[in-house]
Chains A and B, each alone.
Chain A
Amino acid sequence: GAVVSQHPSRVICKSGTSVKIECRSLDFQATTMFWYRQFPKQSLMLMATSNEGSKATYEQGVEKDKFLINHASLTLSTLTVTSAHPEDSSFYICSAVQGRETQYFGPGTRLLVL
């Protein structure tokens, strides 16, 4: 149990375009989902906390208009990188929480902006 999926696993896009990444909890309802980004050989940096039906809470320094988060259902959260630029290239990882349990992580999405 407690499987989290992400789609796509890899995406290459042109500078200036927008990219949507999906995070799904496959066998449980996630009250909260989190979005992280990870640069090569670095740790995971929390970007935002997403609760179903409410606005996401962004960490300091993360632009909410740049990284749009939608958590429309208890099994799906999406992260849209708007007007992507090469510096947005990174590994984006989501996690999901069911009730009072610990976070379960998705497999990550590798974004490359050309």
Chain B
Amino acid sequence: GESVGLHLPTLSVQEGDNSIINCAYSNSASDYFIWYKQESGKGPQFIIDIRSNMDKRQGQRVTVLLNKTVKHLSLQIAATQPGDSAVYFCAEGANRDDKIIFGKGTRLHILP
């Protein structure tokens, strides 16, 4: 488990550049994966999800890639904006309505 005082990894990206946030998930039996955005003092906000029978899914300015062979998930944000500054979490579960387990999170910092 995580220890008290553990700092979140930070990704610093120039405004306008693309951001790539990575996540290694733990359970090879997971079939449903989600990316959430969490701003300071708020609850997580759904960004995009993907099922295990897909390897790529696109949304508005975001793309999620899934590599089940190496249990890796990534979130790509195109043309990063100041409003994208937040902590991003990946989560995994069996189904959409089942419990999900959150990954450790990455803080995205936007450089002016």
Contacts and interface: CB of A to CB of B under 8 A. Distances in A.
Contacts of A45: 102
Given A100-B96, A101-B97, A42 B2 contact: yes
A41 B102 contact: no
Contacts of A36: 102
A93 B105 contact: no
Contact of A43 (B4, B42, B43, B103): B103
A110 B102 CA distance: 19
Contacts of B95: 100
Contacts of B104: 42-43
In which size bucket is the chain A interface? 20 to 34
B100 interface: yes
A1 interface: no
B34 A105 contact: no
Contacts of B99: 34, 46, 49
Contacts of B46: 102-105
Interface string A22-62: 00000000011010100101111110010000000000000
A107 B42 contact: yes
A87 B29 CA distance: 34
Nearest to B34: A102
B23 to A, nearest CB: 11
A100 B97 contact: yes
A108 B44 CA distance: 9
Interface of A: 4, 6, 31-32, 34, 36, 39, 41-46, 49, 93, 95, 97, 99-108, 110
Interface of B: 2, 4-8, 34, 36, 41-46, 49, 89, 95-97, 99-105
Among all A-B residue pairs, the 6 with the closest Cβ atoms: A105-B43, A44-B102, A43-B102, A97-B97, A105-B44, A108-B43
11 contacts: A34-B99, A36-B102, A41-B5, A42-B105, A43-B2, A44-B89, A97-B97, A101-B97, A102-B46, A102-B49, A103-B46
